[in-house]
Structure 1
Amino acid sequence: MSYQHILLVTDLKQDADLVAQKAKQQLTSESSQLSVLHIVQDTVVGFGYELIPAASLNEVDEENRQEMKAEMVDFLDRNQLNTKNTNINAEIATAVSSTEGIISYCDAHQVDLLVIGRHERHGLSALLHGSTVNNIMPNIKCDVLVVHLDI
């Protein structure tokens, strides 16, 4: 099967290179498009009883966003993902949670394959943080390639 729109979700860390290589392997057709997405967790601002994402108030920390863009460029270079190629799109997006941001992106951009890494968590870390992959699976409408990453 040849996928038309592949989404690589990354946390921009060194072990994400393995996930990037798996995503590149899925580009089997010249018409395939690869999108690379990094979600920056949005800060939530409280107004009385309401919680509002800071991004909706146009108060996104621009310095942090620029730092993430620089890390994205480094990540793309390390993995020979040239964004000058019209079939590759890189994006830094804000969302209240990674899960919500990834699902929304997939729905809005008609992604047919999601490629994502998964760290094995145990004990208190697993209980507190859970797994983005486990949270996405019940709600995602496309195929998912999960790449196991060692801690």
Structure 2
Amino acid sequence: MYNRILLAVDLTDESIKVANEAVGLCKATGAELTILHVIESLNYAYGGDVPIDITDIQAQLQDTAKERIDILKDQIEIPVKECCITQGGIESEIHRIAEEKQVDLIVVGSHCRHGLALLLGSTANGVLHGSPCDVLAVKVNKD
């Protein structure tokens, strides 16, 4: 039985499919839903060697994420307990928030990868390994 579900989304168009799976589980179990979006830090993504001041860029990313998460929240048929937008390494931030919020399940989208992308791994795979709780990877395909 799940009491607290963490929906980790990348805020692309496919996020609603992943959200609908989390909503279905919340309805079935009575669990509360927290939505999380992680903005990968530009310093983290580029190994700390960013030669410009990225403060304004990071602020724009935060604003855009807030707008998109509000749109997603409006599309969901249940109340959302909390929305979190964090910055850092995606998998490590998902794990950190899952532990902090003491969630029972993380729901994350999984793109079907092939070839080199499959060998390098995916966010869903990274979340699964080292997760403090169950993980549901929802298969999403771009049409």
Could you state the TM-score of these two structures normalised by the residue count of structure 2? Answer: 0.82
Q: Which structure has the bigger radius of gyration? A: 1
Aligned residue pairs, count: 135
2:52 counterpart residue number: none
Distance 1:93 1:81, change over 3 A: farther
- Structure 1 gaps of 5+ residues are 53-58
1:13 aligned counterpart, secondary structure: coil
2:128 counterpart residue number: 137
1:26 aligned counterpart, secondary structure: helix
Partner of residue 73 from structure 1, selected from 67, 70, 75: 70
1:7 aligned counterpart, secondary structure: strand
CA deviation after TM superposition for structure 1 residue 127, in Å: 3.9
1:118 counterpart residue number: 110
CA deviation after TM superposition for structure 1 residue 82, in Å: 4.4
Aligned pair 1:4/2:6, yes or no? Answer: no
Aligned partners of 1:134, 1:29: CA distance in 2, in Å? 25
* Higher percent of residues as strand: 1
Aligned partners of 2:23, 2:118: CA distance in 1, in Å? 29
CA deviation after TM superposition for structure 1 residue 78, in Å: 2.3
- Structure 2 gaps of 5+ residues are 50-54
Aligned partners of 1:120, 1:23: CA distance in 2, in Å? 19
Identity of aligned residues (%): 29
Aligned partners of 2:23, 2:64: CA distance in 1, in Å? 25
CA deviation after TM superposition for structure 1 residue 29, in Å: 4.8
CA deviation after TM superposition for structure 1 residue 73, in Å: 0.7
Instruction: Assess if the C-alpha contact under 8 Å between 2:23 and 2:77 holds in 1.
Output: no
Aligned partners of 1:29, 1:133: CA distance in 2, in Å? 23
1:148 counterpart residue number: 139
Aligned pair 1:91/2:84, yes or no? Answer: yes
Aligned partners of 1:7, 1:35: CA distance in 2, in Å? 5
CA deviation after TM superposition for structure 1 residue 39, in Å: 0.4
Aligned partners of 1:5, 1:114: CA distance in 2, in Å? 9
Could you state the TM-score of these two structures normalised by the residue count of structure 1? Answer: 0.78
1:20-71 deviations in Å (ceiling 9; x for gaps): 11111111355x32100000001227xxxx949xxxxxx4721221111011
Aligned partners of 2:98, 2:125: CA distance in 1, in Å? 16
Partner amino acid for 1:92? I
Please give the root-mean-square deviation of Cα atoms over the aligned residues, in Å.
2.5
